[in-house]
Structure 1
Amino acid sequence: MGKFETGLMAVNRWALIGLLAAMSVIIFANVALRYLTHASIEWAEEVARHMMIWLTFLGAGPVLRYGGHIAIENLQDALPPLAARLVRWVVVVLLTGFFGFMVWYGLIYMERAQYQTTAATQISFAWIYAAMPIGGVLLLLHWACIVRGYLRGREFAADAHFDANASASL
């Protein structure tokens, strides 16, 4: 992995860790207060839901790198190598187009919702919808880092990590 790739993964992971930790603390505090004081934090569920949205979009890139998204690989396995490579090219074009669409349409959503505010915190919905274009950009960056290996032989970062650990343990 190059410096850019390592930095991208580190920043992405720490953002996910921070969001998940903050969401967990908010939900735990809200549940504890509900049972101990019979009152809850009125903004907790809304903020946790928005953090979950951000977690989903920011976490899609690292999951993509490791081949963790749902995939139907039987078709590629059944085809001759040249046809399987052609299928992978089609997948690359479709995914790249979809990630670009996410960025473009996410920006449109942000623009349309910028004057609507959330019920409890009164922040603009544009901040919540910003997860979509930012997640799309991150998907494009992560995809660019692994696409060559994917095209070559359906290789993912998990495969390289597994191979390195397997050879080290022998």
Structure 2
Amino acid sequence: MKRLETIFVALNSWAIILILSAMTLIVGANISLRYLTAHSLPWADEAARYLMIWMTFSGAGLVLRSGGHVAITNLQDTLPDVGQRCLRAAITLGLLIFFGFMVYVGIQYAQRMQFQVTPALRLSFIYVYAAMPVGFGLLMAHLLLIAHPFITAGTYKRADATDALPGGANG
């Protein structure tokens, strides 16, 4: 199971790296063309925007793993140990329900938008809006993988410097 989790995290990390690299290349090429030839790529801004959407939704689970999202712990800190575990379990369950609902809503929304196309790329909007159910599905998977240590000890799956990068010591 640990090996599958490592592969899952590495694949998710590589997807984010590829998306960020594509954004960098597209925007960099567009800037270069604009200054060198006085012409720009008409689709570059749109492509970068949609890649940013995909990167945001796809990377949210990786941030969740390390406790990088905003959290207010005042209530948890005032509770005894058993109360803290119960609160963390309730938070985990609430998040799973919310993420599942957002997967459902995202699928519904993407299906409704499938017949519209983007202005410059002429791409079906289903590919843009699919980022929402995919991202929330990834959030559910990451949450389930860190749920036990989070609920029992309040810890996250923090990676050291070599594990954080795909291809690191355990990647």
Common fold: TM-score over 0.5: yes
1:22 matches 2:22 = yes
1:120 matches 2:120 = yes
Cα distance between partner residues in 1 of 2:23 and 2:36:
20
Question: Per chain length, whose mean CA-contact separation is higher, i.e. which structure has more relative contact order (CA < 8 Å, sep 6+)?
Answer: 2
- 1:66-85 equivalences under 5 Å are 66-85=66-85
Identity rate, percent = 47
Give aligned pairs, total: 161
Deviations 1:26-60 (A, max 9, x none): 00111111111111100000000000000001101
Query: Which consecutive aligned stretches of 4+ in structure 1 deviate over 4 angstroms post-superposition?
Result: none
Task: Provide the aligned C-alpha RMSD in A.
Answer: 1.3
Q: What amino acid maps onto 2:60 in structure 1? A: A
Q: Which residue of 2 aligns with 1:135?
A: 135
> How far apart are residue 153 of structure 1 and its match?
1.3
- Mind listing any 5+ residue stretches in structure 2 that lack a counterpart? 162-171
TM-score w.r.t. length of structure 1? 0.91
- 1:90-129 equivalences under 5 Å are 90-129=90-129
Comparing 85-94 with 118-127, which one deviates more in the overlay? 85-94
- Mind listing any 5+ residue stretches in structure 1 that lack a counterpart? 163-170
Cα distance between partner residues in 2 of 1:101 and 1:161:
33
TM-score w.r.t. length of structure 2? 0.90
Higher helix share: 1
